[in-house]
């Protein structure tokens, strides 16, 4: 990214009632960038946005805007607007007046207001809605008004806190595309919050994965998916088998009792590592013809592929394959070197990446339904 930095968080920390909510996070956001904070509920996404907007003051650390420290600049003086999940439109004003609101405060001329509101209405696909009562609009339309209202005074940065969270799936997808287009057209920096990984991967230039008040990884969607930095990221983004391994040497890792070739290097000899293998990267073979053998414990049809749970040495792997296999069948699995990704161990090691609970749950469910019969 060549663009210059527009927002920098430097070692920002925030506690509430003695509990560390943001644990010294640092982050650069560049001009024209679409950055997404992605993480589970309670990890500190909204708090981070509020610190950037100026609604929350960090305990320590600096918030820098366009090269200047702005910790002490009040929210209304920052060149930043926010769009919330709840649209918070003015109920007594029509669509036109809702969008015009900030310009009227700034005593902009009637002519210019008209021009800019019309431009915004076109941008969010609401031409002809000027006189409508905002209370009678659909959720998607209300959110478009909220976006137009936030963009009308041309903020340098737009903060969006789960803006599509209240919309149904189909409308969400449409709005995702529209938001992305609006961001490209206006060149405004977007900082977007979601806990939906698919939304984050499909919209962003840069994804910031957060958990437990810390930044776990910052990268492009492809980096985050292909090169997760630890077991948390590997588990949170997509499906992952995460296995204990030992790095025997550069390009050589041992796990599940077998020695595998891989593309990773630079670890200590015999260093314990976390090994990630994505379900779509595992090939099914006849027993004895792959690298590992196991027993199929469940098969679920997913449309594009089957989702197969296989017990290999008491570790339950998830495999996605277009080939059908039977429950209880013995199979082999084959893994190419480039399908193996090695990670440093972390506080998240051993916590994720085994699909036991997944298939136990299914077994319990099917036991329960058998009992009912
Ligand atoms: N004003 C406050 N006083 C006390 N605790 C707070 C306050 N604001 C946030 N918290 C706590 O800080 C933590 C992080 O909250 P935050 O709203 O940033 O999470 P989030 O990542 O946005 O979660 P969600 O996805 O549920 O919106 C939570 O445990 C929350 O309860
Ligand atoms: Mg939140």
pLDDT in tens, 298-352: 999 999 999 999 999 999 999 999 999 999 999 999 999 999 999 999 999 999 8
Neighbours of 96 (CB within 10 A): 20
- Maximal CA-CA distance, the chain: 79
Interstrand relation of 252-255 and 271-277 (parallel, antiparallel or unpaired):
unpaired
Centre of ligand 2 to C-alpha 131, Å, is 33
State which ligand 1 atom lies nearest to the alpha carbon of 17: 4
State which ligand 1 atom lies nearest to the alpha carbon of 48: 18
**How far apart, in Å, do the first and last CA atoms of the chain sit?**
61
Top mutation candidate among 37, 46, 209 for ligand 1, by most atoms within 8 Å of CB: 46
Neighbouring-strand partners of residue 242:
276
Q: Is 42 in the pocket of ligand 1 (CB under 6 A)?
A: yes
Closest ligand to residue 17's CA: 1
Top mutation candidate among 9, 13, 20, 21 for ligand 1, by most atoms within 8 Å of CB: 21
Q: Decide if pLDDT at 373 tops 50.
A: no
Q: Is 14 in the pocket of ligand 1 (CB under 6 A)?
A: no
Q: Is 46 in the pocket of ligand 1 (CB under 6 A)?
A: yes
Rounded distance between C-alpha atoms, residue 210 and residue 229, angstroms: 12
- Sheet containing 189-194: which strands, arranged edge to edge? 80-83, 157-161, 189-194, 34-38, 206-211, 214-219
5-226 CATH = 3.40.50.300
Q: What residues have a C-beta under 5 A from ligand 2, the ion? A: 46
Give the residue whose CA is nearest to atom 2 of ligand 1.
16
More confident of the two residues 2 and 316:
316
Quick: pLDDT tens for 256-283.
999 999 999 999 999 999 999 999 999 9
Nearest one of 56, 88, 62, 58 to 75, comparing CA atoms: 56
Residues 319, 333 contacting (CB under 8 angstroms): yes
Q: Is 55 in the pocket of ligand 1 (CB under 6 A)?
A: no
Distances, alpha carbon 24 to alpha carbons 46, 74, 322, in Å = 16, 22, 45
Distances, alpha carbon 95 to alpha carbons 89, 113, 176, 335, in Å = 9, 13, 22, 56
pTM of the model: 0.90
pLDDT band at 58 (very low <50, low <70, confident <90, very high): very high
Distances, alpha carbon 26 to alpha carbons 52, 189, 346, in Å = 12, 18, 19
* Domain ranges within the chain, ordered by starting residue: 5-226, 239-372
pLDDT mean over 39-47: 96
Q: Is the dihedral of CA 347, 349, 353, 355 positive or negative?
A: negative
Quick: pLDDT tens for 130-174.
999 999 999 889 999 999 999 998 999 999 999 998 888 888 898
Residues 4, 33 contacting (CB under 8 angstroms): no
Compute CA 286 distance to the chain's CA centroid, rounded to the nearest angstrom: 37
Q: Decide if pLDDT at 5 tops 60.
A: yes
Instruction: Give the per-residue pLDDT at 167.
Output: 84
pLDDT band at 362 (very low <50, low <70, confident <90, very high): low
239-372 belongs to which homologous superfamily?
Nucleic acid-binding proteins (2.40.50.140)
pLDDT mean over 98-117: 95
Give the residue whose CA is nearest to atom 7 of ligand 1.
16
Q: Decide if pLDDT at 370 tops 60.
A: no
Rounded distance between C-alpha atoms, residue 6 and residue 322, angstroms: 46
Instruction: Give the per-residue pLDDT at 359.
Output: 53
Closest ligand to residue 160's CA: 2
Q: Is 58 in the pocket of ligand 1 (CB under 6 A)?
A: no
């Amino acid at each position: 990214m060549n663009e210059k930095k527009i927002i920098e968080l430097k070692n920002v920390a925030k506690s509430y009632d003695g509990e560390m909510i943001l644990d010294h996070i640092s982050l650069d956001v560049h001009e024209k960038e679409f950055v997404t904070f992605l993480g589970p509920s309670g990890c500190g996404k909204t708090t981070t946005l509020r610190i950037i907007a100026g609604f929350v003051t960090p305990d320590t650390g600096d918030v820098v805007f366009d090269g200047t420290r702005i910790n002490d600049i009040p929210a209304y003086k920052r060149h930043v607007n926010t769009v919330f999940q709840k649209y918070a439109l003015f109920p007594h004003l029509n669509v036109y007046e809702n969008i015009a609101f900030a310009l009227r405060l700034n005593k902009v001329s009637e002519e210019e207001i008209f021009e800019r509101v019309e431009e915004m209405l076109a941008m969010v696909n609401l031409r002809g809605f000027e006189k409508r009562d905002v209370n009678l609009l659909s959720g998607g339309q209300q959110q478009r008004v909220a976006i137009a209202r936030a963009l009308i005074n041309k903020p340098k940065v737009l903060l969006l806190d789960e803006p599509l969270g209240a919309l149904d799936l189909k409308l969400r997808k449409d709005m995702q595309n529209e938001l992305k287009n609006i961001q490209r057209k206006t060149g405004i920096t977007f900082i977007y919050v979601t806990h939906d990984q698919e939304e984050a991967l499909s919209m962003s230039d840069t994804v910031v994965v957060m958990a437990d008040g810390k930044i776990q990884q910052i990268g492009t969607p492809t980096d985050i998916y292909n090169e997760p930095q630890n077991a948390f990221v590997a588990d949170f983004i997509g499906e992952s088998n995460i296995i204990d391994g030992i790095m025997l040497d550069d390009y050589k890792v041992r796990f599940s009792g077998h020695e595998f070739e891989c593309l990773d290097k630079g670890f200590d000899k015999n260093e314990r590592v976390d090994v990630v293998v994505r379900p779509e990267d595992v090939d099914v073979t006849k027993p004895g013809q792959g690298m590992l053998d196991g027993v199929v414990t469940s098969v679920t049809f997913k449309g594009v592929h089957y989702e197969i749970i296989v017990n290999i040495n008491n570790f339950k792997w998830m495999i996605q394959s277009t080939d059908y296999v039977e429950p209880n069948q013995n199979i082999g699995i084959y893994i190419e070197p480039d399908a193996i990704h090695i990670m440093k161990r972390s506080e998240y090691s051993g916590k994720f990446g085994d699909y036991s609970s997944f298939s136990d749950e299914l077994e319990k469910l099917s036991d329960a339904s058998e009992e009912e019969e």
